[in-house]
Amino acid sequence: MPRKRSLYSNQFRRLGPTRRRFLQGSAAAIAGVTLSNCRQNIASVSEAETEVAAAEAGEASGVLNVYTWADYTNDQLIEAFTEKTGIEVVVDIYDSNETMLAKMQAGGGDAYSVIYPSDYMVQEMISLGMLTKLDKSRITGIDNIFDKWQDPVYDSGNNFSVPFAWGTTGLLYNKDIITDNPEDWDYLWDNSSALSRQITLLDDVRETMGAVLKSLGYSYNSTDPAEIEEAYNKLVELKPAIASFMSFGFEDGLLGGDLAVVMAYSVDALSSIAEDDRLEYVIPFSGSSVWTDTMIIPTSAPNVDAAYEWINFNLQPEIAQLNTETLFNATPNKIAYDNLSDEFKSNTDLFPPEEILAKCEGIAPVGDASAIYDEFWTRVTSA
């Protein structure tokens, strides 16, 4: 049966950003209007309360450098944080966990006090000794997180990370070009001739190889060399029909008709749908990835006090709710979720039902098999 999108996509149309770009222009203006309504709740602290909070936080001040995915904050939120704390925020962005890790390992990330790794990358960074064990006495609001994130498999007890947002990976397509519903990953192979050079896949080895593995009935996180090679061979079959491997920047091509279907993160897909209702998002029937992005403090953090302030700011239900309403990321914050409108909560693209999530997997470290993934990925992307 054709899948029906909730009313959300049409009722909340705006010029939407993508996960990998900062909000600007009209989107920032919308965020500003919303923030003006809730700023009293997040910044109207009495002078006495401010003094106490500053003392408890070690009088955090100075500059906070944040390294994150784009669209995980915006100018209005940063201004509200600075008004409340007096801390200046500088944000740099990355487009993949691997890019972030490589920069940190090369010593180029010593300025950052807060970073936003995904679940599997949290595990890897813990094993590399790169993350500060969190002082829970300095964190306020983590008890508002849904139970499923209170003791996540990637970080038992959230000792090193705080859940920030979650979502899925799927297919975003132009209904003017694709009139039937691409229900599963195999749709790309079955229609490769008709869609030649109109397909993009994520420029992410674990996501794209994981999707191909899932289409073969294997785990997103397979460590079996034979299964990984089979996935590589299947991806090679599709390669002539692929216009590009790209994680962002596909919007113009999709809306202009040069692209028909792209592999996308849900947060980007929802932003694009809000911009133009010719677009549709589907989570493949055989399953996909469900990801969680987190906030961590690296061991090299130069401003730990400010980092705790930033984490506490984003844990506030009003801020978590605003992030969902303006940035289209699903919140793990129960109070924020409860305060969302019915249109948001009933949107199955944003909050998929459990029967769909049950077929999805979080991306997990694959140990020595990562070298096999990298080898095949280099072959397929450089050919």
User: Both tokens of residue 62?
Assistant: 């100075």
Please, where in the chain does CATH 3.40.190.10 lie? Answer: 8-166+291-353, 167-290+355-382
What is the CATH number that goes with domain 8-166+291-353?
3.40.190.10
Per-residue pLDDT of the chain (383 residues; tens, 9 = 90+): 333 333 233 333 332 333 333 333 333 433 443 444 444 444 443 343 444 444 344 456 799 999 999 788 889 899 999 999 999 999 999 988 989 999 999 999 999 999 999 999 999 999 999 999 999 999 999 999 999 999 998 999 999 999 999 999 999 999 999 999 899 999 999 999 999 999 999 999 999 999 999 999 999 999 999 999 999 999 999 999 999 999 989 999 999 999 999 999 999 999 899 889 999 999 999 999 999 999 999 999 999 999 999 999 999 999 999 999 988 899 999 999 999 999 999 999 999 999 999 999 999 889 999 999 999 999 999 97
Instruction: Give 3-state DSSP helix, strand, coil % of the chain, rounded to 5.
Output: 45, 15, 40
The answer to whether the Cα torsion of 303, 305, 306, 307 is positive or negative is positive
**Residues composing the chain:** 383
> HSE (CB half, 13 Å, CA atoms) of 115?
30
In whole angstroms, how far apart are CA 171 and each of 57, 191, 261, 313, 366?
44, 14, 7, 33, 25
What predicted TM-score, i.e. pTM, was given to this entire model?
Answer: 0.82
DSSP class per residue in 187-226: HHHHTTTTTTT-EEE-S-HHHHHHHHHHHTT--TT---HH
Rounded to whole angstroms, how far apart are CA atoms 112 and 14?
32
Nearest one of 160, 178, 163, 245 to 211, comparing CA atoms? 245
Nearest one of 215, 265, 239, 300 to 95, comparing CA atoms? 265
Which CATH number is correct for 167-290+355-382, 3.40.190.10, 3.30.43.10, 3.40.30.10, 2.60.40.350?
A: 3.40.190.10
